[in-house]
Amino acid sequence: MKSGFVAIIGRPNVGKSTLLNAMVGEKVAITADKPQTTRNRIRGIYNDDECQIVFVDTPGVTKPKNKLGEYMAGAALGALPDADAVLFITDSYGLPSTGGDAGDSGDVILQKIQGVSAPKILVINKTDLMAPDRFKRAYEAWEAEGIFTDIIGTTATDGVNVADVVAALKKHLPEGVGYFPDDVATDRPGRFIASEIIREKALHYLRDEVPHGVAVGIEKYEEGRGVTRISAVIYAEKKSHKGIIIGKGGRKLKGIGKSAREEIEGLLGTKVFLDLWVKVKPGWRDSDFMLGSLGYRD
Contacts to ligand GTP by CB under 6 A = 12-18, 31-33, 35-38, 59-60, 125-126, 128-129, 155-157
Helices 239-246 & 251-268, crossing angle to 10 degrees?
70
Residue 188 C-beta: closest distance to ligand GTP, Å = 15
Q: Name which of ligand GTP, Mg ion, none residue 24 binds, using a CB cut-off of 5 to 8 Å depending on partner kind.
A: none
Strand, coil or helix: 295: coil
Q: Residue 62's closest CA among 53, 54, 71?
A: 71
Residue of 21, 38, 155, 228 interacting with Mg ion (CB under 5 A): 38
Say if strands 227-236 and 215-223 run parallel, antiparallel, or are unpaired.
antiparallel
- Which residue lies nearer to Mg ion by CB, 51 or 53? 53
**Stretch of residues binding Mg ion (CB under 5 A), selected from 15-23, 100-108, 123-131, 265-273:** 15-23
Contact between 230 and 272 (Cβ < 8 Å) = yes
Query: Number of residues in contact with Mg ion, rule: CB under 5 A?
Result: 4
Q: Give CA–CA dist 184/176, Å, rounded.
A: 18
- Which residue lies nearer to ligand GTP by CB, 34 or 229? 34
- Which residue lies nearer to ligand GTP by CB, 92 or 155? 155
Binding residues among 257-286 for Mg ion as defined by CB under 5 A: none
Length reported for the chain:
298
- Which residue lies nearer to ligand GTP by CB, 156 or 230? 156
Residue of 5, 10, 17, 252 interacting with Mg ion (CB under 5 A): 17
Q: Name which of ligand GTP, Mg ion, none residue 33 binds, using a CB cut-off of 5 to 8 Å depending on partner kind.
A: ligand GTP
Contact between 9 and 113 (Cβ < 8 Å) = yes
